[in-house]
Chain A
Amino acid sequence: MKTARIVKSAFKGLGRNRLRTFLMMIGIVIGIAAVTVVVSAGLGAQKRVMERVKKFGLESLMVFAGGGREMGPSTSGQPVVTLKVDDAEALERNIRAIAGVAPFNRKGEGMVNYQGKSINTGIWGVTPSWAPVWDWYAAQGEFISEEDEAQMARVCVIAPTVQQELFGGANPVGEQVRIGNVLFEIKGIMQPRGISPRGGDMDDRVYIPLSTFMRRVANVDYLTGIKVRLQSIKNMEQTVAAMQSLLRERHKLAPGEPDDFRIITPTEVTQVAEKIAGTFNVFLVLVAGISLIVGGFVIANIMLISVSERRGEIGLRKAVGARSRDIRLQFLLETMVVTLTGGVIGILLGFVGAAILRAVTQMPVSLSWEGAALGVVFSSLVGLIAGMQPAKRAAGLQPVEALRA
C-alpha cells in the first residue's frame, strides 16, 4: 500500500519534469532500439543458416572431386577426373553408416530450348537415388527412374524456376525441350527448394539421368560429386574418416599426398553461412552496447544533478516522515521507470526499424519476443545500475542539511 503510493509519487515526479525525463530516456530508447534491430537481424540470419543447413540435410555429407579449402567443386578450371561412379558404389557397399549415395555430374551453364525460347540453366546428371538421398522429390509427374538410368533415356525433370521461365505457369509435363542438341521429354517438376547454403538458386536446374549426361551430353566418365546420406547424425567424424581412407585407397594416394576430393559436413555448411552473418553482427552489437552504456551514464549523471537540485524536496519528504529507504526506493524507481519506458519505446522503434531494414535490404530479419525480453532486461539493468548511486546519495542526506539548501 505504502510502496504503491511511493511508486505513484515517483511517476508524478517524472511527469513534473517532462524535459528532464525525456532527455534521460532518449539514450536508452536509441540503445534498446539498436539492440532490438541487431537481435532481430541476428536471429534472422541464424534462422536462415538453420534453414540452409536443413536443406543440405543434417544427416548428409557431400563428397566433391578435387581438394582445396573452399566449399564446392574445384575452381582451378581444370576438371578433376578422379571421382568415379565406382567410388560412390564402393562407399555405399563398404561403409555401414551410409544409408544412400547419389553420384552426380553437372554443367554450370547449359542451353535449354523450348519452341524458340531458350534459357541458360544448370544441367545435372543424377541417379534415381538423388530423390531419397536429398529427400527432394518431384512435385508433379515423376522423378528419373532406374529404367531411365539403365537405358540412358532422354528424359528430364525440371525445377520450378526453369518451369516459370520457359512455360510461365503452364504444366510442361510431356513437352519436349532441347538440351544442347538433344531432345528430352519432360517427365516431372521438382519441389521448390529455394536458396542453397552458398547462395545459389536450387530451383534453377534441369535434371537428366546420370548415364545420359555422361555419355550423350558431356561425354565424360567422372563425377562432380557424391551426395551421401547417413543412417544417423551420430559418429559423423568416424564415418568421414572411414570414407576418406576408403577413397584414398581407391585413388591410390600415397601417404603425405593431399586428398583429391573434399568431404563437406553440415558443420562446415553452418560455419560458412555464419561467417557471412557474424562480422556484421559483432559490429552492431558493439554499437548497441556502447549506446546503452552511454545512455546509462547520462541517466546516472542527470539523476545525480537532480538529487542536488531536489535537496529541498528530499529534506521535506524526510521531515514529513519518509525513511531513508523510502527516498532510495523513490529515486531508484524514477530511474527504473525512465529506463523501462525508454526500453519499451526502444523495442517498438526497433521493431519498426527491423521491418524497414527487411523491406529495404531484403535481409532476413526475425522479430522475436526474445529480442523484446532482452531489451526489457537490459534497460532495467541499466536503470538499476545508473540509479543506485544517485538513490544512495539522496537517501543519505540528513533532513536538516537538506532543508537548509
Chain B
Amino acid sequence: MRVIVQTENVTKTYQRDQGVPIHAVRDVSVAIAEGELVAIMGASGSGKSTLMNILGCLDRPTEGKVFLDGDEVNLLDDEMLARVRNRKIGFVFQTFNLLPRTSALDNVELPLIYSERDDIEGLAKQALEKAGLRDRSHHHPGELSGGEQQRVAIARALVNDPEMILADEPTGNLDTRSSYEIMALFQELNRHGRTLVVVTHEPDIASYATRIIKISDGRIERDGANQHIRQAQDELARLTDMTEAK
C-alpha cells in the first residue's frame, strides 16, 4: 500500500522562555498509508495535536524527518510547504474555523483561491454536496448548526481533492448526534478511498477508525489495527429508534 505520510524519529521541542524545554513529541516514527482512517488518541497535552501539525506540514519537527508523498518536508521552504498543504492536505478543526459573515460556498472556495484550479464555484458546490449541504450553500455560519458548520469545514477540506484529511478533535464541540453524523461522513469518505487522520481524546470516536495510534507523553504507546470497527451509521439508526420509541 502506498504510504502518504511518514515520520522518522521525529521530535518536537518547545522552548518556553527560560523554562525547561518541553518535549511535545519524542522520537516518533509512524507511517500513514493510503485508504486508512487513523485515530490518534491521547489525553490533552500528550502531543497528539503537535504530531498532527507535523503530519499536516503546519509545523516543522525539531529533529527527525517527515516524508509526504515521497518528498522530504524538511527540505521545503515555507512557500513550498504552503503549496503542499494546499494540494495534498485538508484540515478540519475542533472550532470549525469558518470565516464569519461569509457564505458556506465562499468558505469552501477558500483553499481554491490559493490554487491554480479553474471553476472554483463548481468545485465548491461539488464538495458541499459530498458533505450533504447542497441546499445550504448560501447560508452564513451563524445561520447553521454546529454539525452543519463542521460539514462546511469538511467540504472545505475536500474541495482540493487532497491526499489526506487531518481532523483535530472534529467532534469536540458537537452534540452526540452531530458527532455520529460527522463520523459517519468520515467513514463514508474512507470507504470511497479517502485517507483520514482524526485526532481525538474520546475512545468512542476512535472506535470508528480502522487503526488506532495511542500517544502518551509524546511517545507512541500503542499502534495497531482496530479489531472492532464500529459503524457510525448504526449508532445513528439506533439513536433515531430511541427518539421514536419515546
Q: Is the CB of A400 within 8 A of B97?
A: no
Assess whether B175 is interfacial by the CB under 8 Å rule: no
Name the distance in Å between B181's Cβ and chain A's nearest Cβ.
Answer: 23
Name the distance in Å between A71's Cβ and chain B's nearest Cβ.
Answer: 66
Assess whether B219 is interfacial by the CB under 8 Å rule: no
Q: How far apart are the CA atoms of A2 and B118 in the complex, in Å?
A: 10
Chain B residues within an 8 Å CB radius of A326: 82, 114
Chain A residues within an 8 Å CB radius of B144: none
| CB closest residue in chain B, given A326 | B114
Count of interface residues, chain A, beta-carbon cutoff 8 Å: 26
Chain B residues within an 8 Å CB radius of A323: 78-79, 82-83, 114
Q: From B93, B97, B102, B111, give the contact of A321 (CB < 8 A).
A: B111
Q: Is the CB of A319 within 8 A of B113?
A: no
Q: Is the CB of A319 within 8 A of B91?
A: yes
Q: Is the CB of A320 within 8 A of B58?
A: no
Q: Is the CB of B120 within 8 A of A5?
A: yes
Name the distance in Å between B239's Cβ and chain A's nearest Cβ.
Answer: 31
| CB closest residue in chain B, given A318 | B82
Q: Is the CB of A316 within 8 A of B97?
A: yes
Q: In chain B between 97 and 116, which residues have their CB closer than 8 angstroms to a CB of chain A? A: 97, 99-102, 106, 110-116
Name the distance in Å between B204's Cβ and chain A's nearest Cβ.
Answer: 25
| Given contact pairs A320-B85, A320-B91, A321-B111, A16 touches B100 in the complex (Cβ within 8 A) | yes
Q: In chain A between 1 and 26, which residues have their CB closer than 8 angstroms to a CB of chain B? A: 1-2, 5-6, 9, 12, 16-17
Assess whether B87 is interfacial by the CB under 8 Å rule: yes
Q: Is the CB of A319 within 8 A of B85?
A: yes
Q: Is the CB of A322 within 8 A of B82?
A: yes
Classify chain B: how many residues form its interface, as a range. Answer: 20 to 34
| CB closest residue in chain B, given A404 | B49
Q: Is the CB of A2 within 8 A of B102?
A: no
Q: In chain A between 312 and 332, which residues have their CB closer than 8 angstroms to a CB of chain B? A: 312-313, 315-326
Assess whether B59 is interfacial by the CB under 8 Å rule: yes
| Given contact pairs A2-B113, A5-B113, A399-B58, A16 touches B86 in the complex (Cβ within 8 A) | no
Q: In chain B between 60 and 103, which residues have their CB closer than 8 angstroms to a CB of chain A? A: 78-79, 82-83, 85-87, 91, 93, 97, 99-102
Residue among B58, B93, B120, B156 having the largest count of chain A Cβ atoms under 10 Å: B58
Q: Is the CB of A2 within 8 A of B99?
A: no
Q: Is the CB of A16 within 8 A of B156?
A: no
Q: Is the CB of A321 within 8 A of B85?
A: yes
Q: Is the CB of A321 within 8 A of B115?
A: yes
Assess whether A99 is interfacial by the CB under 8 Å rule: no
Q: Which residues of chain B have a CB within 8 Å of any CB of chain A?
A: 53, 56, 58-59, 78-79, 82-83, 85-87, 91, 93, 97, 99-102, 106, 110-116, 120, 156, 160
Nearest 7 interchain pairs by C-beta: A321-B86, A320-B111, A321-B114, A16-B101, A5-B113, A323-B82, A316-B97
Question: 11 A-B residue contacts at CB 8 Å?
Answer: A2-B113, A16-B102, A313-B99, A317-B114, A319-B58, A320-B85, A321-B82, A322-B82, A323-B83, A324-B79, A403-B93
